[in-house]
Amino acid sequence: MKKLLCVALVFLPLALTGCSHRTVVVYAPPPAYSAAAQQGYRDGVAAAQRDIRNGLSQDADRHPRFRNPPVPPPLAEDYRHGFREGYQAVFHGGPGPGY
């Protein structure tokens, strides 16, 4: 019994060391996106990360910046596309299919 306890005490710290490392994921907009779409992508990533942190369900449409993009009207659809792609990238663990 003592031998089993000693072995467990030796290997327990080794097993727990893997738990202390954080994984950092960087979500960068695809370079082919327009400036408005890149801004939307970054805003979508930030919105999704806030939703996850606050325990909210996935819904890009509820965000004010998605509904009223902070870009001129001709660029609104590009912004929304980027926002949605960035938002989904966070929830689905990777970049979307592209633009």
Over residues 1-39, the pLDDT tens digits come to 666 555 555 555 655 555 555 666 778 888 889 999 999
Please give the pLDDT value at position 99: 45
Tell me whether residue 81 is in a domain. yes
Tell me whether residue 4 is in a domain. no
How many residues can be counted in the chain? Answer: 99
Assessment of whether the complete model's pTM goes beyond 0.75: no
Please give the pLDDT value at position 67: 96
Quote the domain boundaries for residue 57.
Answer: 24-92
Q: What is the CA radius of gyration of the chain?
A: 21
Residue closest to 34 by CA, chosen among 67, 68, 83: 83
Q: How far is CA 9 from CA 1, 2, 6, 21, in A?
A: 12, 11, 5, 21
**pLDDT tens-digit series, residues 35-83:** 999 999 999 999 999 999 999 999 999 999 999 999 999 999 999 999 9
User: How many domains, in total, are found in the chain?
Assistant: 1
Tell me whether residue 50 is in a domain. yes
